Amino acid sequence: MSAYQSKHARSLVAAKRQGGKTYTEQSHPLDQKAVPHRRRTSAKRGHRRGIATLLVCLVLLIAVAGGLLWYGHGQVAKSVPSIPSAAQSAPVTTILPAAVPAAVTADQVPYARYYYYDASRAKRYVAYAAKHPKLDPSAVVWQVDVDLDYDVFTHVESVRDPDSDTPLINKHFKLAKDFVPKHLVSLDSAQVRSNVAAAFEQLAAAASGKGLSLTATSGYRSYAYQEGVFDNNAAKYGKANAYVAVAVPGFSEHQSGLAIDVNGLLRGEDSETSGVGGWLHQNAWKYGFIVRYTKANRALTQYTYEPWHIRYVGKAAAKTMHDQKISTFEEYWVKYVEYQAPA
C-alpha cells in the first residue's frame, strides 16, 4: 500500500468514526480542483435555501395577515345589524322625492309625498293598499284619512266644525244628538240654513230658465225625526237595506241643514245625463251645491245612488271640486278642509 492509499484509508476510517459519511471535504483529497467547485455549489444551494425560506415566511405572513383581516371583518359584521326588509326597515335617510319627509320607512315613501299624509296612520295605509292593490297611493291616503279602511259605525269620530259649510258627515263622522243648525228658514216645504236657501233659489231660477222645475221636498231633519225615518225603512225593507238607503240618526247630512232632496228625481239610469238630474250634474256646482251620492261613488259614499240628494258646500268648494275633478266630498274634505293644500 502506497503512502497515498494509506492516508486515504485512514481518512475513511476517521469519517466512519464521525458518522459514516465519507463524501466530506476532508475525505475527498483525490482531486484538489473539485473542492472549490463543491464549495461554490454548496454556496448556491445555501443561497437558494435562503430564498425559499424567505418566500415561505412571506407566504405565511400573508396568510396570517389575511386570517386576521377575515377575523376582524367577522367581528365588525357581528356588531352591525343586518339591513331589514323594506316592510320592516328602520327610518332611512337616503335621498327621497322632494315632497317626502327625510325620515320615513321604505314602505311609506309612496304615501309620504302627499301633504295630507299622517304618520300615525302609516300601518293603515300599507294594510289598505294591500287590500286595494290597484288603488293610486294618493287615493289610499285620503281614503284612510276619512276612515274608509274601517267598517262602518265601528270607528266613529265627532263631526268637526258642524256650523261651517264644509263639515264631513257620513258613516264614520257623527253629529251630536242635540245638534241644531243656526239660522234655519223655510224653503218650499222644507227648512234649511238661510245661506243654503238663498243659493237654492238661485239654482232653481237658473233651472227654470231651462224649462226645469226644482222644488225642495226635504231639508233639515232633527235626530229624532231621522230616527223615525230609519226605523220605518228598516221595518219595511230590512236593516241591511236600510243601512245603505237611509242614514242612521246622527249620521245624516239632513241634520246639518245643508242637504236638500229635490222633487221629480228617481234612480233611473238617465238621471245623471238627462232631465233635471243631468242638469244638476252639469250646473249645481255653479251655485255651491254638489250631487252627493252618485252612481260611480257608491263604494266610497257607502250609500245607494240618490240623484235627488244635493248638498251645499259653498261656491268656492264646489268650484274646486269641479275644477279638480273631485267627485266625492270625502276627498275634498281631506285635501282642502282637514289639511291645507300648499300654496
In three-state secondary structure terms, 158 is strand
Q: Determine whether 125 is exposed, middle or buried from the number of CB atoms within 10 Å of its CB (0-12, 13-18, 19+).
A: buried
- Grid coordinates given for 298: 257608491
Cα distances (angstroms) measured from residue 271 to each of 214, 267, 277, 278: 14, 7, 5, 6
Q: Determine whether 15 is exposed, middle or buried from the number of CB atoms within 10 Å of its CB (0-12, 13-18, 19+).
A: middle
Q: Which of 25, 227, 253, 306 is catalytic?
A: 306
Active-site residue 331, yes or no?
no
- The C-alpha atoms of residue 265 and residue 13 are separated, in whole angstroms, by 138
CA 343 to centroid of chain Cα atoms: 24
Looking from the CA of 70 toward its CB, the CA atoms found within 13 Å total 6
* Active site amino acids: 306
